[in-house]
Amino acid sequence: MQALFQQTSYDAGGNLIMPRHGIRLALVLAWASAAIFFWLAVLESRQWHQEHPGSGASSVPDPLWMVLLWIALPAVPLVLSEILLSLTSEEWIAAGAGIAAALTAGSFVYALVALLFVFFMNFFPNPYFKQQFLAVVVFLACSVWIVISAGRIAAKVRSGVFFVAGAVTLIGLGGGQYALSQMEIQLDREHELGKAQAAQQLFAPVVEAQHMLMSLAGCLILNESAHTGSGYPSTLDPAPADWPCDRKFAANAVREYSLTYSPVLDPATSHVSDFRLVATPQGVPVRGRYPLMVDSRGILFSALWEAPEQARAATSEARLSEIRQLQGSIQHYMDDKVLAAAPEQLTAEIVGTEYSSETPRLGEDGSALETRQYAFHYAGPRPERPSQFALSAQCQSYGQDCLRSYFLDYSGILHATGEPRAPTAQDPPAMDCEESDAACAGVIWPSF
């Protein structure tokens, strides 16, 4: 090997003949094979998504300028190396060899990973398997040749410029890759922020309609509760003279929605015993615009345009209250501690922290808890039911964020009320749709 490095490979002008010309050819071939590999990967991904629509969302495509920067990252040192290797100065040739060696060595690991991916990590049929495999093998072979040839040049020239050029190239490649990756992350964040803002704008009218219906329904129910037997108004347009609500009813109160108030008469007494407030989207049906309705039960229902009989709970307050999550935390504590009886009082350890929105804050007596929207009360075990307990969650921001309150009895049955008071076991069971996305049974959607 030493004799090989010591042999003379200079032309009549004193310029190195071998192996710089081989490096230049190997560089072109290596990066051509890399480009072919990535192009085939793009074709494979495109074909997969065409054959399996909806099977998974692709990442956000890079803008053209970002793609060009990624291409320029290896292309710039590649072109610079080619130019330097074509010169006659031994120092410049050594610098070009150093750049070529660093560029190839920096990509060698990625090529090995790509080879392993083609063989072992591709879980779906790849129509371009042979072509990608051949491209990686060619790249690896050229890489080995480039590194060996660059080492021969470095040994003959014996100049530190080879190592300086190589080090600068590696630092530049690493810094460039990091900078571009950070730019991609920032673009993804901006894209997600843009999507969130677009969704917020899209759903703003329906959210406004929800708030309007909840506020009006809360006021109607509060007023009826304060004047038991007075019933509900026969009309809100115009509103009664003694209308106590801050929010005034108007058919055009919510943009892109029409509001309608419908009194429900008791057939025996002709007394207004209930009401239905309906928000109907205006114009052509579009995504994010769906009808809404609320009545004295305090459940805000939503429905499809074409199937209002398939109403669902728009807010699912039973889930928002997380009373079931608190029940699960207590039960998990009992199972974990192998307790035969439910705890007499709650502790922070029993309540836990596994809540999707807000962990209930525990009062000093160990039975009162609260969140921003709900006040909880824990009832410990009874002598006849030592392993069971009861929970209640009363709406605190009535008419603003919630209308329903819940009572989980000792048998595990969830009761609910839309009235502004503490729930009890005498209240009717909560509707199944209050805890899930199932259709709500028995909902009558008025037609106007």
Tell me the pLDDT tens digit for each residue of 112-138. 666 666 555 555 666 777 787 788 788
pLDDT at residue 1, as a whole number = 38
Work out the pLDDT band at 371, boundaries 50, 70, 90. Answer: very high
Q: What's the topology of domain 2-159?
A: Four Helix Bundle (Hemerythrin (Met), subunit A) (1.20.120)
Q: What is the C-alpha separation between 430 and 438, in angstroms, rounded?
A: 13
CA 71-74-79 angle, to 5 degrees, is: 105
Half-sphere exposure of 133 (CA within 13 A, CB side): 10
pTM: 0.64
Q: What is the mean pLDDT of residues 418-423?
A: 94
Judged against a pLDDT cut of 70, whether residue 447 lies above it is answered with no
Judged against a pLDDT cut of 70, whether residue 54 lies above it is answered with no
Work out the pLDDT band at 4, boundaries 50, 70, 90. Answer: very low
| Residue, of 181 and 117, whose pLDDT is higher | 181
Share of the chain above pLDDT 70, in %: 86
3-state secondary structure of 414: strand
Judged against a pLDDT cut of 70, whether residue 111 lies above it is answered with no
Query: How long, in residues, is the chain?
Result: 448
- CA quadruple 380, 385, 389, 394: dihedral sign: negative
- Whether residue 351 contacts residue 326, with contact meaning beta carbons closer than 8 Å, is answered with yes
The pLDDT tens digits for 236-249 are 888 887 777 777 78
Share of the chain above pLDDT 90, in %: 29
The tokens 């398997």 sit on which residue? 129
Domain layout of the chain by residue ranges: 2-159, 205-314, 319-434
Q: What is the C-alpha separation between 142 and 27, in angstroms, rounded?
A: 7
pLDDT at residue 197, as a whole number = 85
Residue 258: how many other CB atoms lie within 10 Å: 15
Q: What is the mean pLDDT of residues 36-51?
A: 75
pLDDT at residue 5, as a whole number = 38
- Whether residue 430 contacts residue 416, with contact meaning beta carbons closer than 8 Å, is answered with yes
